[in-house]
Copies of this chain bind each other. A is one copy, B any other.
């Protein structure tokens, strides 16, 4: 995980709408969520807007899609989140002290 990649993912999560989308997907677990339900759950007016946000999340590797018949199932990519959190935690505790990683170290 380099700085550029991390920044892209952070930027992707740095929009309130996208963060809620991602949050909904994470909470949905491995089963994922179809785009339609995602739109209702987060409360996005236009489907095109959600599609736009989803594309960004997918391009950064935070979300994946799988076709199931007519609907597209969206899922959070947990390893990506894992790597991102790990990057932040490593930066945080590399030379300084915070509690995030101290209990693990």
Q: Which residues of A contact B (CB under 8 A)?
A: 3-4, 6-16, 19-20, 22-23, 26-30, 76, 78-79, 81-82, 84-86, 88-89, 91-92, 94-100, 103-104
Contacts and interface: CB of A to CB of B under 8 A. Distances in A.
Given A14-B14, A103-B104, 19 more contacts: A6-B19, A7-B16, A10-B11, A10-B13, A10-B19, A11-B15, A22-B91, A26-B92, A26-B95, A29-B96, A30-B96, A30-B97, A78-B92, A78-B98, A81-B98, A82-B98, A82-B99, A84-B88, A85-B92
Nearest to A8: B14
Q: Is the interface of A mostly helix, strand, loop or mixed?
A: helix
A61 to B, nearest CB: 14
B23 A91 contact: yes
